[in-house]
């Protein structure tokens, strides 16, 4: 992408250079003279353009430091005009006007100043107008996405109530002697309520997050047979602080999805959550089938979504290490809480 952008810049300046040659070609000058003169202008104008676009505009104009911007803008143009004077003098003396009267340095300076000033103003103004137009398009697109998200949220309000009513109806039709099924349904209902209501905030009490993980693991234990040993260890000091909701569940779901099931091998899932000072330590380990040598392919959005959320919510405060071995899969996450 960067290379493509660079080539677009080169193509733009090349097109402008050819345009100048065609427009400013004079019969009194040889074609080679026009080419050389316009190339000299191109160098100084381009240098001023990038100086303003990448430095003075973002550092001063966008921050409303208009006086400093104006001073730097004019200083760049005056400097370019001054530097062009000895270049033009040298070319005139040895090539273009050899053994002919030479133009005064003041005339060269004024001509250079006017030409560079006009073109830099036009090019910078054009770039600012284009950027403004693109920014407005971006704002409009964000507004549309926000409206759509709000509409989707409002449309989804009916669904949870219908879902919970359905769960209650199913619960009432399960035989009272079937305590396992009834408890599983209650656990699932509690997990669903947590996802739909509690997780709407940016941060959640760690106790609620841990309870959600416990419910998920308990539900999975009921689904699994005795061929998989499942261990969940949460330290007692995991309380009294907040975290972003649903940070760990993607890795836990992944462990249950890919854990081995062969009866002749030892299959296990080991999940531990600890807190050392202001560091939250999360580890999720699961064995894999011995004959499953391929790396796990995460075609869903779970793992990638978790990684992206960590980057956005805890920039510079997280360290995620994933080991995908032929016999096991392990996730170690260190989270700086303050």
For range 148-152, the mean pLDDT = 70
For range 50-69, the mean pLDDT = 92
Question: Considering the domain 207-336, what is its CATH architecture?
Answer: 2-Layer Sandwich (3.30)
pTM to 2 decimal places: 0.52
Question: Given pLDDT bands bounded at 50, 70 and 90, which one contains residue 219?
Answer: confident
Strand ranges (E), the chain? 204-205, 228-234, 242-243, 267-276, 279-287, 318-324, 328-336
- Termini Cα distance of the chain: 36
Domain with CATH 3.30.565.10 in the chain: 207-336
pLDDT for res 14: 72
pLDDT for res 161: 60
> Are the C-beta atoms of 42 and 13 separated by less than 8 Å?
yes
Distance of CA 57 to the CA centre of its chain: 24
> Are the C-beta atoms of 71 and 63 separated by less than 8 Å?
no
For range 59-87, the mean pLDDT = 91
d(CA 168, CA 82): 84
* Long-range contacts, stretch 316-324, CB < 8 angstroms, 24+ apart: 324/295, 324/296
Question: Given pLDDT bands bounded at 50, 70 and 90, which one contains residue 32?
Answer: very low
Strand 204-205, strand 328-336: pairing:
unpaired
pLDDT for res 56: 93
- Apex CA 280: angle with CA 279 and CA 285, to 5°? 135
pLDDT for res 238: 93
């Amino acid at each position: 992408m960067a290379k493509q952008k660079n080539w677009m810049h080169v193509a733009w300046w090349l097109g402008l250079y050819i345009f100048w040659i065609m427009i400013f070609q004079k019969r009194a000058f040889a074609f080679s003279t026009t080419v050389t003169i316009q190339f000299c202008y191109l160098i100084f104008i381009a240098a001023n353009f990038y100086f303003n676009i990448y430095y003075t505009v973002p550092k001063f104009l966008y921050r409303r430091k208009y006086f400093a911007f104006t001073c730097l803008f004019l200083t760049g143009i005056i400097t370019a005009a001054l530097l062009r004077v000895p270049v033009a003098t040298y070319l005139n003396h040895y090539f273009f006007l050899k053994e002919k009267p030479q133009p005064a340095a003041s005339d060269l300076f004024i001509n250079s100043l006017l030409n560079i000033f006009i073109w830099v103003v036009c090019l910078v103004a054009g770039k600012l107008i284009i950027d403004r137009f693109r920014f407005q398009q971006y704002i409009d697109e964000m507004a549309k996405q926000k409206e759509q998200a709000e509409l989707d949220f409002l449309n989804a309000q009916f669904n949870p109530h219908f879902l919970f009513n359905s769960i209650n109806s199913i619960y009432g039709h399960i035989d009272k002697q079937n305590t396992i099924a009834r408890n599983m349904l209650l656990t699932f209902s509690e997990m669903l309520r947590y996802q739909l209501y509690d997780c709407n905030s940016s941060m959640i009490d760690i106790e609620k997050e841990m309870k959600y993980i416990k419910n998920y693991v308990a539900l999975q234990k009921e689904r699994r047979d005795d061929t998989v040993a499942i261990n969940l260890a949460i330290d007692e000091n995991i309380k009294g602080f907040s975290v972003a909701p649903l940070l760990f569940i993607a890795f836990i779901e992944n462990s249950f999805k890919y854990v081995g099931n062969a009866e002749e091998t030892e299959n296990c899932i080991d999940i531990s959550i600890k807190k050392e000072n202001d560091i939250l330590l999360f580890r999720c380990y699961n064995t894999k089938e011995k004959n499953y040598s391929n790396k796990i392919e995460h075609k869903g959005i779970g793992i990638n979504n978790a990684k992206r959320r960590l980057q956005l919510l805890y920039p510079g405060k997280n360290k995620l290490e994933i080991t995908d071995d032929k016999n096991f899969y392990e996730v170690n996450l260190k989270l700086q809480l303050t």
